[in-house]
Structure 1
Amino acid sequence: MPLPITASIPVAPIKSERENVKSEGRAIGEFSSLVGQSTAVSLLEGAIATNRIAPAYLFASVDGVGKTLAARIFIAQLFDTNNLANHPDLLWVEPTYLDRGELVNQSELAHSEVKPKSPPQIRIEQIRVVTQFLSCRALTAPSKVVVIQDADRMAASAANALLKTLEEPTSGSIILISSQPQKLLPTIASRCQAIPFHRLNGSNMIRVLERLGNAEITNDRAVVALAAGSPGQAIAHYNQLQTMPKALLEQLELPPTNALSAIRLAKEIDTMLDFERQLWLLDYLQHRWWQVLSNTNWVEKLEAAKVALLKMASSRLVWEVLLLGN
């Protein structure tokens, strides 16, 4: 008996914030709103023009370069409608947290103060829903489509279940979106048509950020360097920067020049910032101090501090060792 689709298996919202790249005011069905991804656009437009839609696709690249936007445009053109919200022939799946026996989409907790103890994952229960969904005929669209966001976060059991689904003929297509495709089962990746996405060059980065109303980000060279060609990551890093205590950032414009300042700063960082924000600050300072000092020693010290922090060393001690190393 097929598994019933119930409210306990959450469905992700169509408008994902993972990529932070939107349609720039155009109709979402236009590939012209996707900047700097000519190869992906050519492949997807060709599939629609020839009506040769693959059973499975793999949209792979770093976060924030337009993979989710491309999926929405592709589906909108395939379905011949811009109204994808609650479409009966579209299922959008994303990793979930297990909270008091209920599955909660990762996007629902993205801006919550709740800090889950384990990372989100795509679970076998969700893949069972995918399998059932694809076993039925499309209602209004030419075929059904399932999008699996962050597909590399699949649990082992979920991956094996998805592989079985991919091996069997269905009445629709599956789009896997991944920023770490190397983590997918090779047997899953080999059954998908790869749609490559790339980091944007400088001019395209500026173009996208300006159209999204984030032109001010281009003035922060450290944030732009951190983003490494990803407009979505540039926005995420800039937003993270805004959450940092301004007085602390001002004190870290340059490395401290005396031991007393170093010890005081280490204490402030340990007290004011949680683990994730400390990791982010180390990345930010790598770019910031390199641009100001052009000193590879500081880059290496900051990287060593990050490694130590990830090994669960005392965060205050990590910062003291780093900042006293002037």
Structure 2
Amino acid sequence: MTNDPFAPLIGQQQAIELLTQAVKQNRVAPAYLFVGPDGVGRSLAARCFIELLFSHDVETKLSASLHNRLLQGNHPDVLWVEPTYQYQGQRLTAKEAAEKGVKRKAPPVIRLEQIRQITEFLGRPPLEASRNVVVLEQAETMAEAAANALLKTLEEPGKATLILIAPTPDAVLPTLVSRCQRIPFYRLDGESLAKVLTQSGHGEVLQNQALLSIAAGSPGSAIASYEQLQAIPPELLEAVKKAPASYRQALELAKAIDKDLDTEAQLWLVDYLQQFYWHKWYRLSIIQQLEKARKSLLCYAQPRLVWECTLLSLYQQCQ
């Protein structure tokens, strides 16, 4: 394997330099805030940084074993925290909820109980490395009680480093931000985006202009959009790519969307259709109508009714 843990991270040279120098100069901060858009490598950077930290220890040598353990999430000195849903007395991550087929109405959050778990984890000394490391994905989802509890931990982290991942500093409690060293992440340029997609086996995404527009320089968003696109029934996808030919067809299509797609998928479909229709017709009124649909769906309006209004409007505008 390569001797550079950051080799898989593309297009984030500033972040790599800041983190590498911190380790080389033995000036690792107690807490970091990785800020930037979703899907540009913040979580990957956290994993690479931990690998560099642990491989820099006298007791630990950079090896395929360390790399694989971090990749699989089973290193005893690393705690990775994700937002969760509360379901039948259990906390489920978004992935676990999807696997169980749990219907999700509200977004997942980082809960107070999870912050208590962090406190308990940091209450013991590291077992193999020179420090414990905690990573909080989507730190912006912490409720105020959870954020205040985390603040106490940040004030006395002990032999530990915490990494908070969020889209912007404004999305996190200011008192937390003030205790973290900020590491910025940026959207990728076209060349870097293409490189990531090609290397990850998603080169076909480069042929879909609507997906690239949705991604806006985020490989993770591009891949997630591609996977979402594959999950939509092909006949439904082909139907929504065209303007309805009649009132009846508009109503039937709205019924099919409501039946086949959950709210999350419908919101994604709005994004996709905005990009697809713009490149097809270049009509602002259609994009605005879809934006109204998004706001209505986010306000928990009846999805079938939202799509009926949207598709009837589309039929009228394309006559």
- How do 1:195-274 residues align onto structure 2 when only pairs under 5 Å count? 195-274=183-262
| Equivalent residue, structure 1, for 2:58 | none
CA contact (8 A) 1:97 1:105 kept: yes
CA distance in 1, matches of 2:157, 2:205: 46
CA, structure 1 residues 222+163, in 2 after alignment: closer, same or farther (shift >3 Å)? same
1:157 to 2:157 alignment: no
Paired position in structure 2 for 1:7: none
- Deviation of 1:205 after TM superposition, in Å, equals 0.9
Residue 234 of structure 1: CA displacement? 0.7
For normalisation by structure 2, the TM-score amounts to 0.88
Structure 1 unaligned segments of length 5 or more: list them.
1-25
> Where do 5+ consecutive residues of structure 2 fail to align?
56-61
1:53 aligns with 2:28: yes
Which residue number corresponds to residue 42 of structure 2? Answer: 67
**Partners of 1:273 and 1:86 in 2: how far apart?**
35
Deviations 1:255-313 (A, max 9, x none): 22433332332232233322222221111100000011111111111111211222233
Q: Distance in 2 between matches of 1:271 and 1:128?
A: 40
Paired residues in the alignment total 301
Answering whether residue 269 of structure 2 is matched by residue 294 of structure 1, we say no
Partner of 1:226: helix, strand, or coil?
A: helix
Q: How far apart, CA to CA, are the structure 2 residues paired with 1:299 and 1:196?
A: 32
The partner residue of 1:190 within 174, 178, 193 is 178
Q: Is the 8 A contact 1:57 1:192 kept in 2?
A: yes
Residue 14 of structure 1 corresponds to none
C-alpha contact (below 8 Å) 1:92/1:146 kept by paired residues: yes
TM-score (norm 1): 0.86
CA RMSD between the two structures: 2.0
Residue pair 2:212, 2:222 contacting (<8 A) in 1 also:
yes
Q: Does the aligned pair in 1 maintain the 2:130–2:159 contact within 8 Å? A: no
Q: 2:54 aligns with which of 66, 69, 79?
A: 79
User: Runs (4+) of structure 1 moved beyond 4 Å?
Assistant: 26-29
* Distance change (3 Å), C-alpha of 1:285 and 1:50: same
Question: Secondary structure at the residue paired with 1:65?
Answer: coil
Deviation sequence 1:63-89 (CA, Å, 0-9, x none): 211111111111111101423343222
Identity of aligned residues (%): 49
Q: Which residue of 1 aligns with 2:101?
A: 113
